Amino acid sequence: MTHARRHGGFRVCLIHGKNLPMSAIRHALSTKREDDFAAWYQEVIASADMAEESGVRGCMVIKPWGYGIWERMQRLLDDRIKAAGVQNAYFPLFIPLKNFEREAEHVDGFAKEMAVVTHHRLIADGEGGLIPDPEAKLEEPLVVRPTSETIIGDAMSRWIQSWRDLPLRLNQWANVVRWEMRTRMFLRTSEFLWQEGHSAHASAQEAKDETMMALEMYRAFAEEDVALPVVAGEKPENERFPGAVETWSIEAMMQDGKALQAGTSHYLGTNFAHAANIKYQNREGRETLAHTVSWGVSTRMVGGLIMTHGDDDGLRVPPALAPFQVVILPMLREKPEDEALLEYCEGLRAAIAGQSALGETVRVLLDTRPGKAAAKRWDWVRKGAPIIIEVGGRDMEGGVVSLLRRDRLWNMDTGKPAFQNPDRDLCAQSVPTILADMQNGLLTQARERRDANIRRDVTDMDALAAHFSRDRKYPGWVEVQWAKPTGDALEKVVEQLKELRLTLRNVPMHAPPADGTCIFTGEQAVERVFVARAY
RNA sequence: CGGGGAGUGGCGCAGCCUGGUAGCGCAUCUGUUUUGGGAACAGAGGGUCGCAGGUUCGAAUCCUGUCUCCCCGACCA
């Protein structure tokens, strides 16, 4: 009985958030989350004008609104990276094939998904087409980078001679290519945009500290900027980055209960230093291998934002990331009185632009494109602009405006948009408060939803299988206790989970110590680990 | 890569089985009337039917190949 009730509770909690009178409301999207989450996700992207298919396998065109959100992420994360003392640099797109041959695990991990450049010229095929010129075959093929450990390692080996050269801490913003079997916009594309941090250190401890520094930076970025509650923890051995000694991640719960790995930080030990010959003379004059670290966050974070904050009316962009936080829509009539209205709106725009919210100048757009305000309103609702302000002649006469908060879109009594009508000047002053409240509210809402959908009382495999049975639409996550098996024993566990379409996510950092038995082996448990379906 | 589905104006689809001048809805443009709120009416523009071959007097339609997208798996920092 508890089960049935919980199940019902989960569905309401995961998708609706609140019990709205759904039937009375005409939503801005045609697909609801609870009806078809995957179709809903794609409709949000299309109707918010974020991205579209390109015709090139697995590659997308990121449109201004989607790219604007990514640029905001870049800005805020880059500020954090620089504040941590890491410097930006740029390394080549092409990596010599032989670089990958030096680290066995690394090549195993990536060989199956690499794009390779083999020719440097095209010639006519005699039938109106072009083919790679057989005469222009490269001596050594070039790999389009799937990640840059090996080429940055080359540079590090040249730049590091002495212990005085350490630590060397770099970051690059770049695109990478991984020839994935199955792609989904933003979540897994053949080409994606990211930042990759790379550092070399004198000691294992210092390198591990850097690994944790990056992980904590990601946690703060996710929660404070993206309003994405995450669990930071260590990945189990089988989920490690190829060639890493330790892989840490931040994991977020999407509204369908699946887990999304939203950022990773790897302690690479001396594996890559050995492969790339990153050595230095220590204070005693002895040649020593450096310890290296890498960490990355990608455009996948945009997908996580959509699946965390989107609703049945489209996207909701957290104010910190919104390219425009406030959009003003004058109700233009193509008549002489438009001029006075525009002047009134311009006054509002200037007043809002003079405000500062979340530590930055408020980003406000006065949308004067021709068209009806009501039609444009729904465009901005679907795009997820935090505050939409409509202004008509009657507002102007009364010295007020019509303000709509994207996080409180509907008046649940009337089933209509929940407009407020503040005084124009008070409205401008209240914008920073509203934006801060919304940023905070989105995080709180997502965190409560996540916490309500984590179970910690599952102690045997039958109960686990029941919890994740096929008729459970959105089962969320389960935190289990385990004996941390390794090698073949771990493989067996992974196989068991695979049959349930489940994966091990991570071992949360701040969990209470284990006090039970291992759900997989029955031995004394040593720690807790999250089990979930994953993207 | 395995199984399933689909590519036809910007978007969503019908037509294909049974070959014979390319259609519908939304969107767009123009005009009129409206308009405190996701307008109505009238008219108009826009497609070599994913691409390449083949069969045929004639191909969106039949055949072969190929590319792309979606779903389920497998795969996946």
More confident residue, A175 or A471: A175
Mean pLDDT of A46-71: 90
Range of the domain at A405: 326-444
Number of domains chain A contains: 3
Position A116 scores a pLDDT of: 87
CA of A337 vs C1' of B41, distance in Å?
A: 27
Question: Strand B closer than 7 Å to the CB of A42?
Answer: yes
Position A474 scores a pLDDT of: 83
Same domain? For A292 and A357 the reply is: no
Question: Strand B closer than 7 Å to the CB of A336?
Answer: no
CATH number for A500: 3.30.110.30
Q: How confident is the model at residue A269 (pLDDT cuts 50, 70, 90)?
A: very high
Mean pLDDT of A15-31: 64
What is the rounded average pLDDT for all residues in chain A? Answer: 90
CA of A142 vs C1' of B3, distance in Å?
A: 35
Q: How confident is the model at residue A38 (pLDDT cuts 50, 70, 90)?
A: confident
Mean pLDDT of A64-86: 97
Q: Which nucleotide is nearest to A247 (CA to C1')?
A: B77
Same domain? For A158 and A277 the reply is: yes
Which helix H or strand E contains A40, and what residues bound it?
A: helix A37-47
CA of A128 vs C1' of B58, distance in Å?
A: 27
Position A39 scores a pLDDT of: 83
Task: List the nucleotides on chain B closer than 7 A to a protein CB.
Answer: 1, 28, 34-39, 67-77
Phi, psi angles (nearest 5°) of residue A328: -105, 125
Question: Strand B closer than 7 Å to the CB of A249?
Answer: yes
Q: How confident is the model at residue A1 (pLDDT cuts 50, 70, 90)?
A: very low
For strand B, list residues 462-521 of chain A whose Cβ lies within 7 Å of it.
498, 501, 503
- The pLDDT tens digits of the residues spanning A330-378 come to 999 888 889 999 999 999 999 999 999 999 999 999 999 988 899 999 9
For strand B, list residues 162-201 of chain A whose Cβ lies within 7 Å of it.
176, 178, 180-185, 188, 194, 196
Neighbour-count burial for A99-127, b at 16+ CB within 10 Å, e otherwise:
bbebbeebbebbeeebeeeeeeeeeeeee
3-state secondary structure of A458: coil
Whether residue A1 is contained in a domain is answered as no
Q: How confident is the model at residue A513 (pLDDT cuts 50, 70, 90)?
A: very high
Same domain? For A186 and A296 the reply is: yes
More confident residue, A86 or A332: A86
Copy the structure tokens of residue A137: 């075959």
B71 closest protein residue (CA to C1')? A38
Contacts of A482 (CB under 8 A, 6+ apart): A493, A514, A518, A519, A520, A521, A525, A526, A527, A528, A529
Whether residue A490 is contained in a domain is answered as yes
Copy the structure tokens of residue A291: 């310890």
Rounded to the nearest 5 degrees, what angle is found at the Cα of A43, between the Cα atoms of A38 and A45? 100
Same domain? For A200 and A225 the reply is: yes
Same domain? For A466 and A359 the reply is: no
Whether residue A34 is contained in a domain is answered as no
Whether residue A404 is contained in a domain is answered as yes
Whether the upstream peptide bond of residue A167 has omega within 30° of 0, thus cis, is yes
Phi, psi angles (nearest 5°) of residue A314: 120, -150
On whether the CB atoms of residues A114 and A144 are closer than 8 A, the answer is: yes
Could you say which of A309, A338, A354 is where a domain stops? A309
Same domain? For A385 and A343 the reply is: yes
CA of A53 vs C1' of B20, distance in Å?
A: 36
- The pLDDT tens digits of the residues spanning A432-467 come to 999 999 999 999 999 999 999 999 999 999 999 989
Whether residue A522 is contained in a domain is answered as yes
